[in-house]
Amino acid sequence: MSKPEILQMGAYPAWDVEALEAKFTLHRYFEADDKQAFIAQHAPAIRGIATRGELGANRALIEALPNLEVISVYGVGYDAVDLETAKARGIRVTNTPDVLTKDVADLAIAMMLAQSRAVVTGDAWVRSGDWAAKGNLPLQRRVFGKKAGVLGLGRIGYEVARRLAGFDMDIAYCDVAPREFAGDWTFVDNAQALAERSDFLFVTLTGGPATRHVVNQSVIEALGPKGSLINVSRASNIDENALLDALEAGKLGWAALDVFEGEPKLNPRFTKLENVLLQPHQASATEETRRAMGALVLDNLAAHFDGRPLPTPVL
């Protein structure tokens, strides 16, 4: 029997490609120079899409594939998949929840510490010889005991908050409703009030139309000139222009960001700022987690084509 044909939207590690190729015929969309011609050539044969959290499958792509049955997302976020179009066509959608939660939370904490304690600038200071030539760096900001806000107490937000408790922080969170599992963490019912009471505001919201620009100019300015904004979720959750304006004007103290509008290209205004820490969307990027994510992408596709229940379905 011939192997089901899959459209591969982005690059995967070699171990995933090998495992996928054992079961499927892969068509590498990301390597095609002429995307339209590539789709036109392979469209009738394609029964599945293997994509990445931030790439997805938009309406035009789904509509161009008449025999598409399943979209397997390598990521917990599936905001880049047009769910409405998929649902209308009865196309199944899967993601990779849980396996990446703790790595994403770890990076959020690492970003808070690195920025507050000048870890990256400190390293550059030593390497460049500035330490010997100019003396010590300016003093830094204390982390432990400060006020932290977690915007979105889902799986990742919960793991971030748990870690913050280890730094004796006063923890508050905002979500659609108070969470039973939140213990003595303070519930705040809107993002602006959460920002007002926070030294560090962590954005751990799901991405998508419902959360677009939840972190707007008022929220950013409520966090204020001594506040830090840390985003390991989706760029779309923050009004990026308002963020840049506030950082440039000193109306927000600092930002540490793993995600950007239009990534991997980003607004050049970011790279001119000293009060930002910039990361290349790598919160889930440990070998252990990426292996687990790749295995789930494969398991979901294999389950679909074998007629078994999907391990981690979205639709």
User: Taking CB under 6 A as the rule, does residue 161 contact ligand 8YV?
Assistant: no
> Does position 102 bind ligand 8YV by CB under 6 A?
no
Question: Whose Cβ is closer to ligand 8YV: residue 54's or residue 196's?
Answer: 54
Confirm or reject binding of residue 237 to ligand 8YV (CB under 6 A): no
What backbone torsions phi and psi does residue 28 show, to the nearest 5 degrees?
-85, 95
Q: Smallest Cα–Cα separation from 114: which of 38, 228, 37? A: 228
From 163, 234, 290, 304, active-site residue: 234
Q: Considering CB under 6 A, how many residues would be counted as binding ligand 8YV?
A: 10
| Choice among 163, 281, 290, 304 that is catalytic | 281
Q: Burial of 188 by CB count in 10 Å (0-12 exposed, 13-18 middle, 19+ buried)? A: buried
User: How far, CA to CA in Å, does 99 sit from each of 11, 55, 295?
Assistant: 19, 19, 10
Determine how many CB atoms are found less than 10 A away from the CB of residue 122: 15
Residue 264: cis peptide before it, omega within 30 degrees of 0: yes
Question: Is residue 74 within the footprint of ligand 8YV (CB under 6 A)?
Answer: yes
Catalytic residue status for 54: no
Q: How far apart are CA 284 and CA 244, in angstroms?
A: 25
If binding is defined by CB under 6 A, does position 294 make contact with ligand 8YV?
A: no
Residue 80 in contact with ligand 8YV, rule: CB under 6 A: no
Verify whether residue 59 is a known catalytic residue: no
Task: Give the integer Cα–Cα distance in Å for 219 and 119.
Answer: 27
Question: Of these, 48, 77, 152, 157, which contacts ligand 8YV (CB under 6 A)?
Answer: 77
Instruction: Decide: is 71 part of the binding site for ligand 8YV (CB under 6 A).
Output: no
52 binds ligand 8YV (CB under 6 A): yes
Rule CB under 6 A: is residue 76 a binding residue for ligand 8YV? yes
6 token code pair: 């899959």
Catalytic residue numbers, as ranges: 234, 263, 281
Binding region for ligand 8YV (CB under 6 A): 52-54, 74-77, 100, 281, 284
